[in-house]
């Protein structure tokens, strides 16, 4: 895919997602127009059932919309085959979920390598990038540990390392601090800030926590499958770690 800097990374029109059929049918999304530009850090907020996770799954090509259009990097993804979508997920998108979504039987570095295995990276590049990515989140020393030998915060940082290792355009995070204690949560958010500020990675965070939202530069609020507000975060309101990398270490 040709990367065109002029395209927004995300552009949706009247995105709908309907669950079930007939009378029991329910709109997860009821027509969402959203544009996210390169380098943004957006928080999708709303109560549970508002459709924010559904939106994130469609943006991450984990689910297909019932109707409406979605352009990712200028490409109409509804025209892509499942294999092409899988390739986009592996190379261009990174995911961080709420729970521990590491594969329990693989050690940290093998987990980080996994998306690059599916993207058919050469073995030595894979290893190199995985180590680099792990040291970026401050966990190079724990590369050989299994997920059950890591703390929750460490496991989530491995998941972030895994998400960014292939060099994606967009990082999607679904309640990334939801299962963590406050200190670990701060580490993860500082890491996001570093990835966005210093490396220019576009990040979309789904959260119901206003404190988490205030780490972003823009807050999009959903309710009943619709966007009800879309506001930038004032610089003075934004929570910013002075030296994000020191928080991590």
> Of 46 and 65, which CB lies nearer to another protein in the complex structure?
65
Is the separation of the CB atoms in 42 and 203 below 8 Å? yes
DSSP 148-190: GGS-HHHHHHHHHHHHHTT--SEEEEESTTTTS-HHHHHHHHH
For the CB of residue 182, give the shortest distance to another protein in the complex, in Å. 24
- Residue 217 near residue 42, CB atoms below 8 Å: yes
In the complex, minimum distance from the CB of residue 190 to another protein, in angstroms, rounded to a whole number = 24
Phi-psi category of 236—alpha, beta or left, where left has phi over 0 and alpha has psi -120 to 50? alpha
C-beta of 41 vs 88, nearer to another protein: 88
Distance of closest approach, residue 73 Cβ to another protein, in angstroms: 16
Contacts of 159 (CB under 8 A, 6+ apart): 96, 97, 100, 101, 102, 111
* Shortest Cβ 131–another protein spacing (Å): 16
Name which of 20 and 99 has its Cβ closer to another protein.
99
12 — phi, psi (to 5°)? -120, 150
As measured in angstroms, the least distance from the Cβ of 74 to another protein is 20
Give 53 or 202: the residue with its C-beta nearer to another protein. Answer: 53
Q: Do 65 and 17 touch, CB atoms closer than 8 A? A: yes
Q: Which is nearer to another protein, 88 or 216 (CB)?
A: 88
Residues at the contact surface with another protein, assessed by CB under 8 A? 57, 60-64, 82-83, 86-87, 89-91, 95, 97, 99, 101-103, 105, 110, 113-115, 117-119, 162, 166
């Amino acid at each position: 895919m040709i990367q065109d800097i002029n395209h927004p990374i995300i552009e949706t029109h009247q995105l709908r997602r309907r669950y079930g059929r007939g009378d029991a049918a329910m709109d997860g999304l009821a027509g969402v127009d959203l544009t996210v530009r390169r380098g943004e850090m957006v928080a999708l907020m709303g109560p549970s059932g508002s459709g924010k996770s559904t939106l994130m799954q469609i943006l991450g090509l984990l689910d297909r919309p019932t109707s409406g259009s979605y352009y990712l990097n200028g490409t109409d993804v509804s025209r892509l085959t499942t294999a092409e979508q899988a390739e986009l997920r592996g190379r261009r998108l990174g995911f961080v979920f709420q729970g521990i979504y590491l594969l329990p039987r693989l050690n940290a570095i093998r987990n980080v390598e996994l998306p690059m295995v599916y993207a058919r990276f050469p073995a030595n590049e894979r290893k190199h990038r995985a180590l680099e990515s792990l040291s970026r989140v401050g966990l190079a020393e724990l590369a050989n540990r299994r997920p059950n030998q890591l703390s929750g915060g460490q496991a989530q940082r491995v998941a972030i390392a895994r998400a960014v290792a292939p060099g994606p355009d967009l990082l999607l995070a679904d309640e990334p601090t939801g299962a963590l204690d406050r200190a670990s949560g701060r580490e993860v958010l500082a890491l996001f800030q570093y990835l966005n500020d210093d490396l220019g990675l576009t990040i979309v965070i789904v959260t119901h926590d206003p404190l988490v939202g205030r780490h972003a530069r823009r807050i999009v609020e959903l309710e009943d499958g619709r966007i009800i507000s879309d506001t930038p975060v004032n610089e003075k309101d934004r929570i910013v770690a002075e030296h994000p990398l020191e928080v991590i270490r």
